[in-house]
Amino acid sequence: MMKKILVIHGPNLNLLGTREPGVYGHLTLDKINQMLKVQAKKFKATLVIKQSNHEGEIVDLIGQAKKRKFKAILINPAAYTHTSVAIRDAVAACGLIVVEVHISNIHSREEFRHKSLISPVAHGTILGFGAKSYLLGLAAILDLIPAK
């Protein structure tokens, strides 16, 4: 069974490396993607990586994932975590393993960031470990995908 995983980076994550480095660190999105690809290769998994600042595009990616033969989705919904019922509903409806990740600990930040609309419909959420949150999330997905 091919381990085909969709990675979705939400809004403003294209600015990593320069955006609030005290919160998000100095690694760029390209570097995080490289780290994910190295880990995926070790487990014979294929990643398709997308970044979008547009809610509807993210909803479309999630909605088409099963048809496109993905086994799981690793998503950092970024600011949409706290605001997007549409992304929440897409995750709930997609029928795939979904792991939500965040670079920062959303519970130690501004109060409006404390609630995730995505967490209740995801298989799990990993947050607060910097870029390693992505690697931990991918490891969880690789463990959850049935080995057949």
Indicate the domain borders of the chain.
3-7+27-144
- Measure the CA–CA gap between 146 and 29, rounded to whole angstroms: 29
Predicted confidence at residue 120, as pLDDT, reads 96
66 residue type, one letter: K
As annotated, the active-site residues are 24, 102
Considering the entire predicted model, what is its pTM? 0.91
**60 contacts: CB under 8 Å, gap ≥ 6:** none
The count of residues in the chain is 148
Q: What are phi and psi of 111, to 5 degrees?
A: -60, -35
Predicted confidence at residue 71, as pLDDT, reads 97
Kindly calculate the radius of gyration of the chain based on its CA atoms and give it in whole angstroms. 14
Lowest mean pLDDT among 91-100, 111-120, 122-131, 134-143: 111-120
CB 8 within 8 A of CB 61: yes
Tokens of 110: 């501004």
Q: Is the pLDDT score of 112 beyond 80?
A: no
Q: Which residues pair with 42 in a beta bridge?
A: none
**123 contacts: CB under 8 Å, gap ≥ 6:** 97, 98, 99, 140, 144
| Average pLDDT, rounded, for the chain | 90
Q: Does domain 3-7+27-144 have CATH number 3.40.50.10420?
A: no
Q: Give the number of other Cβ atoms within 10 Å of residue 41's Cβ.
A: 11
